[in-house]
Amino acid sequence: MRGDRRLACAGLALIAGLLPMAVAAQGAPESAIPWLSDSLAAPQASSTMDEPVAVPLTGPEVTVMPLGQTRRDAVGLLSTRLTGLPRDAVAGSDPERIADLIQTLPGDAIPAMQDLALMLMLAELDPPRAAGDTDRLFFARIDGLLRFGALDQAQALLERAGATDPEAFRRWWDTSLLTGFDTRACDAMTANPGVAPTLPARIFCLSRSGDWAAAALTLDTGRALGMITDEEDALLANFLDPELFEGLPPPVPPRPMTPLAFRLLDGIGETPPTLDLPLAFAVADLRPTTGWKSQIEAAERLVRARALDPNRLLALYTEGRPSASGGVWDRAASIQKLDTALIAGDPVAVASALPQAVARMREAGLLVPFADLYGERLSQVRLNGSAADLALRVGLLSPAYKRVARDASPTLPRDAFAVAIAQDDFAAPPPPGNLMQAISDGLTGPAPDRLTRMAQGERLAEALLEAASLLSGGAQADPQDIADALAFFRSVGLLDVARRTALQLLLA
């Protein structure tokens, strides 16, 4: 009896401590990404009645920070030596404009533009000078990585920059739940009193530490005080005591889904399907405990967004024998057939397997990742006729496009034009067609003045994102936009980006 009373008092003390934080959380601004949970919200300082209301100063906006302190906007994972970008690539930009460009990047952009965007989000650059909010660009980059499913990169960037304040910690917390580091996230929450966990997050972490009694008591007390919604109550109660709800319908998944809700549902054996959820949730399906088909589907989505190494997808395709036909299974079967032929070194078998593999991967929007895996290997196989033409196109879409082009003997005008591009023969006459002419104009003509002025004004990264947005329609984009984007990439020395973009527009 005395122990129960002490436990109850401890629970009430915990609730009392969290109550002001929960009130503050209700007034917290919504995140830029709807599915980012509000499991952590910044506590807001309250003023007493005796304190005067602060009067805002008028005049120019000034940002103050201690000498020697590095702004998070400047933190990155890729040095200028790796990216080739100057350190002042965003120094003259408005962070709000860059944030808008990152937020509006299409998820189905051509792979060269996705690679460029990911590189810019991970680059280590001097921060914008005109930033009113010194973290605006940093959080825009993190949110962009999360939107593209690049959770490992986002987690690494947050950890390098420091995620001890509520806004950063919330993103790190959500990312850790989806990547399987929930124990570490709970340990960090417990060790960092500067962040304000809401009750669902606290209850979850109490259970993860093995203190089920305290977790159940906190849930009961929060329910009695009206600090737990009916939706949260159902999820947490099922998670803490699943046997009590045996035979009853599972709790209804919330909309929008949050990482904490996903983890709670997963814990009671009701893991939500991720195909209709934001791309970041697909990372959770890469766990070996997930079904093979779900793992492949998740890997395909992430590889398509350039957030996952294609070799991970190849390993899944070749993991076992497809048990059915159609969709995922057809792709796995075609890849297995081609992979076996290549390993055996059998040109006849390769020529037989290649057309079906290319067709299946093209239908799924995975032709460029397929080329990353097989382009160079196919160029080393002696093929004839249409199989040789197909292998050439795949090779030109691969990172080894220069070597493939050097040894190529194209038979079709479009392939010959692609080979010329890969060898920097930009003056080669294009075949008839608006797309071919636009590519030729972009590789030989002047860059647009607007983008050039931006690059010269220490706004190169902004200009690159603007150029990427011109290509949001892929090969169906306006021909002038295609020419302008290619000309700009070439003018700032990003020849590899220009070539790969042209080849993907032409062949993929």
pLDDT digits (tens, 9 = 90+) for 116-144: 999 999 999 999 987 677 788 999 999 99
Q: What is the band of 496 on the pLDDT scale with cuts at 50, 70, 90?
A: very high
**C-alpha to C-alpha distance for 179 and 398, rounded to whole angstroms:** 29
Token couple for 319? 């993991």
pLDDT tens, residue by residue, 335-359: 999 999 999 999 999 999 999 999 9
pLDDT tens, residue by residue, 74-118: 899 999 999 999 999 999 999 999 999 999 998 889 999 999 999
Residue 299 has pLDDT above 90, yes or no: yes
Which sequence spans correspond to the domains of the chain? Answer: 434-507
| Residue that the structure tokens 């079967």 belong to | 333
pTM as predicted: 0.86
Helices 2-26 and 199-208, axial angle in degrees (round to 10): 140
- The pLDDT assigned to 325 comes to 87
**C-alpha to C-alpha distance for 480 and 502, rounded to whole angstroms:** 14
- The pLDDT assigned to 131 comes to 67
Amino acid of residue 104: T
Q: What's the whole-number mean pLDDT along residues 139-153?
A: 95
Highest-confidence segment of 77-81, 275-279, 368-372: 368-372
pLDDT tens, residue by residue, 462-487: 999 999 999 999 999 999 999 999 99
DSSP state of 429: P
- The pLDDT assigned to 198 comes to 75
Taking all residues of the chain, what is their mean pLDDT, rounded to a whole number? 86
Residue 185 has pLDDT above 50, yes or no: yes
pLDDT tens, residue by residue, 36-60: 755 433 333 333 333 333 333 333 3
Q: Which residues contact 196 (CB under 8 A, 6 or more apart)?
A: 18, 21, 24, 25, 40, 41, 42, 43, 166
Q: What's the whole-number mean pLDDT along residues 309-328?
A: 93
